[in-house]
Structure 1
């Protein structure tokens, strides 16, 4: 059986230590305080790497807590700049949308697998999963593709261009799965493999869907597709594996 083939019992993103690191109010309070410190320092020009190390040491955060904190944190300036280029759902009708493929796919696979995702101060959700150079399909992969496709259809998007990392093993098989999903369901999709998808996305004149900080800082216009889907799934009661704080 190939890695992209259906895997019994395979889920995405939740480490054996995650419940201990993220589920209790004690741990969440610690991360919330660390996020407040990160926001304060980043907004005053302190570099990300040094700030993360300083705050992480102060609050005695573990490695995966640091990953979550880094995904949630940004400066006041970044929040303002990203918000200024963010398009609202009603603006997506008849647009061509360039999707950061693994970025969206792994986020939603993680969510539907019961893994933790984290709301950033910029409104984007991020995960602490990784493909480690090889993508492996999980039980939720096809569900995620259908969810994304139906959401794009409801938004009235003219065409979605999925962009995946060519160097990641099994990306070719994933492209074939995306193409089959589009054909079977009437989704207007183009699926590309690129050696440097982040740079490719930032060069496009169309709208970009990503939660990657570098992409958001360098693209022209963007749409928060991940958050649109997550918030649509849970309009009232947010599940325990969705963590977000305000500062």
Structure 2
């Protein structure tokens, strides 16, 4: 029977995943598909569902690593830039950080949490502290404008958008918040248009693949707080 990673301490979990992670990376260099490779190695190593999810989040094929790293911009380089935030992606990741959840340094250079089981609808009710942390960062970073984009399908997103607009005004940040039924499409389309010259704040790999420049706000906050991510090296 496979053990859940919940039975392991974080150091033990990291130690358990180090060899499978190395094996997966070695196989991926030969051009094999990511998900089949992770499944093959995870089966051989008798890993549980949560452990497989962590490896899926952290490990990337070489071509994705190169292209995504090139798009990542520095935390102090958004002054006078227009910023488009993948609202729930950023806020829930920061929420995980503030709740001391493991934050993983992924092969493509971005920070991701692995609360894969969370319900966005439930988590979204408890992210005011995360929002305050993001707004504090934005106040110091001085972007030209900020737009929070929220999934309309998630309950009370409209209320959250209104709340964010009030908080932006309170903090003297030029910006807005809106909902969309096609959030990922909007992020990729607007962030991938050279004429817009937008920076997109997200750690969603599919979105990053389509935009021109990406900002990793959780990583910026961790750097400021002196928190090191978990690395599978």
Instruction: Give the TM-score normalised by structure 2.
Output: 0.86
State the match for 1:244 in structure 2.
231
Q: CA deviation at 1:24?
A: 3.7
Q: 1:191 aligns with which of 177, 181, 186?
A: 177
Q: 2:52 aligns with which of 66, 69, 73?
A: 66
Q: CA deviation at 1:231?
A: 1.9
Q: CA deviation at 1:165?
A: 0.9
Secondary structure of 2:153's counterpart equals coil
Unaligned 5+ segments in structure 2 are 191-195
State the match for 1:226 in structure 2.
218
Cα pair 2:92 2:130 within 8 Å, conserved: no
Cα pair 1:40 1:75 within 8 Å, conserved: no
Cα pair 2:92 2:123 within 8 Å, conserved: no
State the match for 1:108 in structure 2.
94
Change in Cα spacing, 1:163 to 1:42, as seen in structure 2 (3 Å) is: farther
The answer on 1:201 being equivalent to 2:193 is no
Cα pair 1:161 1:190 within 8 Å, conserved: yes
1:27-176 → structure 2 map (5 Å cutoff): 27-129=13-115, 130-132=117-119, 134-137=121-124, 141-176=127-162
**Structure 1: how far apart are the matches of 2:81 and 2:87?**
17
Q: CA deviation at 1:86?
A: 2.0
Cα pair 1:21 1:65 within 8 Å, conserved: no
The answer on 1:177 being equivalent to 2:163 is yes
Cα pair 1:202 1:220 within 8 Å, conserved: no
Cα pair 1:38 1:74 within 8 Å, conserved: no
**Structure 2: how far apart are the matches of 1:245 and 1:209?**
24
**Structure 2: how far apart are the matches of 1:21 and 1:175?**
38
State the match for 1:20 in structure 2.
7
Task: Give the number of aligned pairs.
Answer: 223
Cα pair 1:94 1:158 within 8 Å, conserved: yes
**Structure 2: how far apart are the matches of 1:178 and 1:88?**
24
**Structure 2: how far apart are the matches of 1:22 and 1:60?**
18
Which whole-Å deviations, capped at 9, do the CAs of 1:90-116 have from their partners, x for residues lacking one? 431100111111111111111211222
Q: CA deviation at 1:161?
A: 1.0
Which whole-Å deviations, capped at 9, do the CAs of 1:116-153 have from their partners, x for residues lacking one? 221111221112225536244455x2221111112112
Q: CA deviation at 1:83?
A: 1.8
Q: CA deviation at 1:191?
A: 0.8
Cα pair 2:57 2:112 within 8 Å, conserved: yes
Change in Cα spacing, 1:133 to 1:209, as seen in structure 2 (3 Å) is: closer
Secondary structure of 2:121's counterpart equals coil
Cα pair 2:72 2:214 within 8 Å, conserved: yes
